[in-house]
Structure 1
Amino acid sequence: MNSTVVLCVALLVIFYGALSLNVSRVRRKRRSDSTVPEAALTKAIRAHGNAAEYIPLFVAGLLYLQSFGPSLFVVGLAVAVVACRIMHAAGMLLVPAVTERHPLRFIGALGTYFCLFAMGGAMIVSWFQAGA
């Protein structure tokens, strides 16, 4: 098993945990400080929720593809997924409100879609190569 892919999977899991903790942190801060805007909590929840939609799928898919043996494609895909998920979350958290757009959010989302389709395609190819 390629250690880079495992490292990327671990980073995705830790990143998901960090986004979860951020939601708790903002909730706690809002309870004690009425000046913290609702938008801060909304951003934290949306960034976490979006990660919850994609990270588990990528973790499972990357580990599945990696089970077929070393592949530069899978390593590149894993690195791209980590970069795209971080960019997307940063783009959501850096703006004052979720209704505002940030270039990182767009790039991260577009990259996530590309990685998702690439991973799905690779899974289909691996299925055919295994002798379906």
Structure 2
Amino acid sequence: MDPLASAHAAALWAGLHVILLLVLSVLVTRQRRKHQVEIGDGGVPALTQAIRAFGNATEYVPTALAGLALLALVGALPLLIHAVGLTLFVGRVLHGFGLSRSIAATWPRAVGVLATWIAYVAMAASLLFYAFP
């Protein structure tokens, strides 16, 4: 196995998650400009949703990226890193999409949360496994 394969896998998912955060940030900016709100949500539901979609991603993604980087550092299999990264990415995209469209409990939000938690559990278990050589 290429010794950098794990790092390359982590880099892929880090890059995609950074792009996702940028897209969610742009959606907030678009709503701010559309409704002429400089700070806060101005009581505009669409802006509140965009802010929460971005905020929720910023609550989950950084920790997950740190976990993926640590998995790469300990030499976890690239397939494991790809599985966790993909699960997290799909979860975050679905959650962001669902929350951007509705404040109600929707299937994209529910599946997004579930996928995020599955990725977190798999990552935590893997990190603990690799912590004890």
TM-score scaled by length of structure 2? 0.84
Where does residue 11 of structure 1 map in the other structure? 16
Root mean square deviation of aligned Cα: 1.6
Quote the residue 1:45 is aligned against: 51
1:105 paired residue number: 109
Identity %: 33
Q: Deviations over 1:108-127 (max 9, x none)?
A: 10111111111111111111
8 Å Cα contact 2:31-2:47 kept in structure 1:
yes
Structure 1 counterpart of 2:118: 114
Letter in 2 for 1:19: L
Structure 2 residues without counterparts, runs of 5 or longer: 38-42
CA shift for structure 1 position 5:
3.0
Range that drifts further, 12-21 or 49-58: 12-21
Q: 2:30 aligns with which of 25, 28, 40?
A: 25
The SS at the match of 1:101 is coil
TM-score, L = length of structure 1: 0.85
- 1:61 is aligned to 67
For residues 72-98 of structure 1, the C-alpha deviation after alignment (integer angstroms, 9 at most, x for no partner) is 222211111111110111111122xx1
Q: What do the CA deviations read for 1:6-53 (whole angstroms, capped 9, x no partner)? A: 211101011111111211111111018xxxx81100100110110010
Q: Which runs of 5+ in 1 are unaligned?
A: none
| Amino acid in structure 2 at the alignment position of 1:22 | L
Give the Cα–Cα distance (whole angstroms) in 2 for the partners of residues 23 and 117 of structure 1: 30
2:105 partner SS: coil
